[in-house]
Structure 1
Amino acid sequence: MENKNIEFHELQSADLIIDAIYEGGNKGNISDDAIGKLMYTGNSGGFRVKNNVEKNPAYLVLYTSGEDVNWPDEINKEKGIVTYFGDNRKAGKQINETKKNGNKYLERIWGVNNEASKLDIPIFMFKKNPTLSSRRSVQFIGLLVPQVIGERNEALLNGIWRTDENGQRFLNYEAKFSILNTGKDVITRKWIDSLITTPLTSDEYAPKAWLRYQKTKSITKSLVLEAPNEIHVRSKDSQLKMENKTDKAMLNILINNFSDNPYHFEYVAVDIVSSMDNSFHFEKTRNIRDGGRDAIGYYSVGINDNKVNIPCILEAKCYQINNSVGVKETSRFISRLKNEEFGVFVTTSFLGKQAYTEIVEDNKKILILTATDIIKILKKKQINTESRLRDYLEEFNNKSS
């Protein structure tokens, strides 16, 4: 089903609908901004606060372009979790001394230093979504709350260090939110208006999910908007998709680095999978008589010392981009899986259609990571430039088999 599009001239009276596209203007200047007109806020920046008639914050709008490789905001629609980075992105200032005061608002949302002044307001999330009509169009992601199931609240706002191009270190925030499952309720214009004009009685127009959350101040599974992907056979293009020239260059560097000794890529594959999810624990096998298992290990489920370890094996193939992984390779890998094991197959190229289809249709317990997945995981590790990738690969170039 196609997403609903709301025209620029309709924005000031529009409701907020999950995944709807809100068209920007076409004058070619900052007045084309859709969020400013839709939410009565400023027309630039990632953090945009609207005050109510009492001069207090009515709500906060978060915006991401999704294009900053150094600060890769993430919207995980499957799990209903948003990872959003603060606005202290240059050295020379304290973490909360920013022009838009974005990090100060994050501190208030989590009650940093002063629980009494904790900010408890709706948070609306939008993402850049250029259209034929306007490059300033946006998509509504949802209503956010500063809690995540299974995570301690104090662990959801973290200060993280970065180093700029001049070698200067500085701190910024990484924040995690859950997307509230508002169900069939749309976020009405009446609620948005009442948050500003009549804040004390605004609950009259609020979504039921927001009221439930406000009553308990805790997040439950039914309150999180989870949208799991259907398992499907990805096309060659989707398995090889690169967002820009840097991504393509990084993939070529990765492949060429192991052209003389593709076995060393197995160490990188283990590190990539472990970085993707630290519940994976692998031990690299010897290349001689490894039984086709490049690494063996387990996936740990549970908390503290109450865990279950699910055994798994990994196979890695460092292939040229257009050299597909075929049925021969995947069938051999499947044959080596024991009943209680699942598999992780990592390749710098892609799986051929027949090989991929057989895995999906036969419900084989195999996680497939291809070229596009590898680059995404590396970028989440802040390995997002060609020079950083070369430095990273140096660690693996002298590994012994």
Structure 2
Amino acid sequence: MDQRRTGEECEEAKGGRPGAMTDENLDTVDLLVDQVYGGSRNGNSSDDPLPKLLNVDNGAGFRHLGQRPEVKTLKLLVLKTSFSDVNWPDALNSENGTFVYYGDNRIPGDLHQTPRQGNLMLRNLFDEAHQRQQSPTFPPILLFGNTGVYRDVRFIGLAVPGAAGMGADDDLVAVWRTSGDGVRFQNYKATFTILDVPVVSRAWVKDIQAGKAICSIHAPKPWLDWVGGRKFTPLKSAPVSVIRSKQQQRPQTPELAAYAQLIYEFYKEDSYAFERCAMELARLFMPAIQTWEITRPWRDGGRDALGTYRIGHGAGAIDVDFAMEAKCYGMNNAVGIKPLSRLISRLRHRQFGILVTTSYLDLQAYQELVQDAHPVVVISSSGDIATKLKERFGSLDNVRIWLQKI
């Protein structure tokens, strides 16, 4: 019998959902990017598929084979994210192949003194990665995410510490948070690269478990290239369509909708005040914005703000002018062709536009924007604003504090 049965067969055998691999032979299957792996349906920790899949324990986010926390004694590291903790918003960027993962410290004190030594392992992994030389031993890092169905997990990919263009001061940073009783503490924010390895073979997994990850003939080349020369080969996934539908622009979950709704409620009675917020939102997405000013409401000329965006670094950099239009609309009230055309018509030569809205861009307007290749950046309510706010500030309370400061 084929041990990797179809999703429908697994559904019938285990009561799982279609597409989830839930057969009893998880210890024999390959790991496929975005494949779902499910366990039993007992409603307790025994449902966790990772012990069967990789011979790791059924603990929290950090799982390992070998002796922790030293790099040289670790055979394998498995990181699992829930994607649901608003204070620690782990995030996958499919377009550039990076993954942001937060450590396991949740209380005041030494950020390295955690029960599972997760932050200590992160520090050691990134310290080794920054050596920029071949590692005689290095544990493969496998990322998984919860699906929300029992304890099923989705394989995110084979990861390595850091990313192209990021240095030792950027890829692993200690961020501050405040506990429920108002005490400040630190935790790690780590950036990984998902390598262009669509399948992690079971043959390599067995060699990893035997402590032969690097010398295995089954080791994937992108991973060996990184281990041997710190070469990043990310798994990039371009969007299928650049014309985003209403559903693609709006919040995908009630949790994300709360972030977009918070912005709207805060500014719905004062659209002029929202223009300053819109500029701050634009700066979150486009940190290279250099100078900017809000135009006077009675003399804006179809532009709510003007500014410059820097391209390049140092003496060789250039500044490009931009104009911004801000629309504080309810999530069911689309931005149509008229305000978009108003912005486009005011753009001068070699100037680009930024449209920021708490709603979404109407389909016809989006089609015109893309088909005519107008140089306008669209920042809309959900896939953009809500996700960025959750990633940057965590909780809704932190967002409120940020809005009050604006």
Q: Structure 1 residues 154, 267: CA separation in 2 closer, same or farther (over 3 Å shift)?
A: closer
> Which deviates further from its counterpart, 295-304 or 315-324?
295-304
Which residue of structure 2 aligns with residue 399 of structure 1? Answer: none
Measured in 1, the distance between the counterparts of 2:113 and 2:98 equals: 27
Q: Structure 1 residues 390, 156: CA separation in 2 closer, same or farther (over 3 Å shift)?
A: closer
Q: Structure 1 residues 201, 297: CA separation in 2 closer, same or farther (over 3 Å shift)?
A: closer
Which residue of structure 2 aligns with residue 39 of structure 1? Answer: 54
Which residue of structure 1 aligns with residue 235 of structure 2? Answer: 225
Measured in 1, the distance between the counterparts of 2:41 and 2:350 equals: 57
Equivalent runs, 1:356-395 vs 2, <5 Å: 356-372=366-382, 373-382=384-393, 384-385=395-396, 387-395=397-405
Instruction: Say whether residues 1:16 and 2:28 are aligned partners.
Output: no
Instruction: Say whether residues 1:107 and 2:119 are aligned partners.
Output: no
Q: Partner amino acid for 1:111?
A: D
Q: Contact 1:325–1:351 (CA<8 Å) still a contact in 2? A: yes
Tell me the alpha carbon deviations over residues 214-273 of structure 1, each in whole angstroms, 9 at most, x when there is no partner.
221x224xx11111223433232332225235x444433422332332111000000011
Which residue of structure 1 aligns with residue 222 of structure 2? Answer: 209
Q: Partner amino acid for 1:61?
A: V
Which residue of structure 1 aligns with residue 10 of structure 2? Answer: none
Q: Structure 1 residues 303, 178: CA separation in 2 closer, same or farther (over 3 Å shift)?
A: farther
Post-superposition offset of 1:286: 2.2
Equivalent runs, 1:246-325 vs 2, <5 Å: 247-281=256-290, 282-325=292-335
> Which deviates further from its counterpart, 63-72 or 343-352?
343-352
Post-superposition offset of 1:155: 2.4
Tell me the alpha carbon deviations over residues 22-49 of structure 1, each in whole angstroms, 9 at most, x when there is no partner.
1232121111112221111011211111
Q: Contact 1:313–1:341 (CA<8 Å) still a contact in 2? A: yes
Q: SS of the counterpart of 1:381?
A: helix
What do you get for the CA RMSD once the two structures are aligned? 2.5
Which residue of structure 1 aligns with residue 14 of structure 2? Answer: none
Q: Structure 1 residues 249, 189: CA separation in 2 closer, same or farther (over 3 Å shift)?
A: closer
> Which deviates further from its counterpart, 154-163 or 192-201?
192-201
Q: Contact 2:213–2:219 (CA<8 Å) still a contact in 1? A: no
Measured in 2, the distance between the counterparts of 1:94 and 1:124 equals: 26
Q: TM-score, normalised by structure 1?
A: 0.88
Measured in 2, the distance between the counterparts of 1:180 and 1:153 equals: 19
Post-superposition offset of 1:380: 2.4
Q: Contact 2:259–2:390 (CA<8 Å) still a contact in 1? A: no
Instruction: Say whether residues 1:353 and 2:356 are aligned partners.
Output: no
Measured in 1, the distance between the counterparts of 2:222 and 2:151 equals: 30
Q: Contact 1:24–1:138 (CA<8 Å) still a contact in 2? A: no
Q: Contact 2:103–2:187 (CA<8 Å) still a contact in 1? A: yes
Measured in 2, the distance between the counterparts of 1:106 and 1:8 equals: 33
Q: SS of the counterpart of 2:164?
A: coil
Post-superposition offset of 1:70: 0.3
What are the ranges of 5 or more consecutive residues in structure 1 without an aligned counterpart?
A: 397-401
Which residue of structure 2 aligns with residue 127 of structure 1? Answer: 145
Q: Contact 2:246–2:361 (CA<8 Å) still a contact in 1? A: yes
Post-superposition offset of 1:136: 1.2
Which residue of structure 2 aligns with residue 49 of structure 1? Answer: 64
Q: SS of the counterpart of 2:25?
A: helix
Q: Structure 1 residues 181, 250: CA separation in 2 closer, same or farther (over 3 Å shift)?
A: closer
Q: TM-score, normalised by structure 2?
A: 0.87
Q: Contact 1:191–1:202 (CA<8 Å) still a contact in 2? A: no
Which residue of structure 1 aligns with residue 337 of structure 2? Answer: 327
Q: Contact 2:311–2:317 (CA<8 Å) still a contact in 1? A: yes
Q: Partner amino acid for 1:274?
A: R
Q: Structure 1 residues 233, 122: CA separation in 2 closer, same or farther (over 3 Å shift)?
A: same
Which residue of structure 2 aligns with residue 71 of structure 1? Answer: 88
Post-superposition offset of 1:201: 6.9
Measured in 1, the distance between the counterparts of 2:102 and 2:54 equals: 21
Q: Contact 1:77–1:228 (CA<8 Å) still a contact in 2? A: yes
Q: SS of the counterpart of 1:300?
A: strand
Q: SS of the counterpart of 1:110?
A: helix
Q: SS of the counterpart of 2:378?
A: strand
Which residue of structure 1 aligns with residue 202 of structure 2? Answer: 189
Measured in 2, the distance between the counterparts of 1:79 and 1:299 equals: 21
Q: Contact 1:49–1:58 (CA<8 Å) still a contact in 2? A: yes
Which residue of structure 2 aligns with residue 84 of structure 1? Answer: 101
Q: Partner amino acid for 1:374?
A: I
Instruction: Say whether residues 1:178 and 2:193 are aligned partners.
Output: yes
Tell me the alpha carbon deviations over residues 139-175 of structure 1, each in whole angstroms, 9 at most, x when there is no partner.
1111111131111134211111111110111111111
Q: SS of the counterpart of 1:351?
A: coil
Q: Contact 1:111–1:119 (CA<8 Å) still a contact in 2? A: no
Q: Structure 1 residues 286, 86: CA separation in 2 closer, same or farther (over 3 Å shift)?
A: same
Post-superposition offset of 1:4: 6.1
Q: Structure 1 residues 203, 339: CA separation in 2 closer, same or farther (over 3 Å shift)?
A: farther
Post-superposition offset of 1:129: 1.6
Q: Contact 2:100–2:189 (CA<8 Å) still a contact in 1? A: yes
Q: Structure 1 residues 9, 202: CA separation in 2 closer, same or farther (over 3 Å shift)?
A: farther
Tell me the alpha carbon deviations over residues 58-95 of structure 1, each in whole angstroms, 9 at most, x when there is no partner.
0101111100000001111101111111000122x311
Taking only the aligned residue pairs, the percentage that are identical comes to: 35
Q: SS of the counterpart of 1:203?
A: coil
Q: Contact 1:34–1:138 (CA<8 Å) still a contact in 2? A: yes
Measured in 2, the distance between the counterparts of 1:59 and 1:267 equals: 47
Count, aligned residues: 381
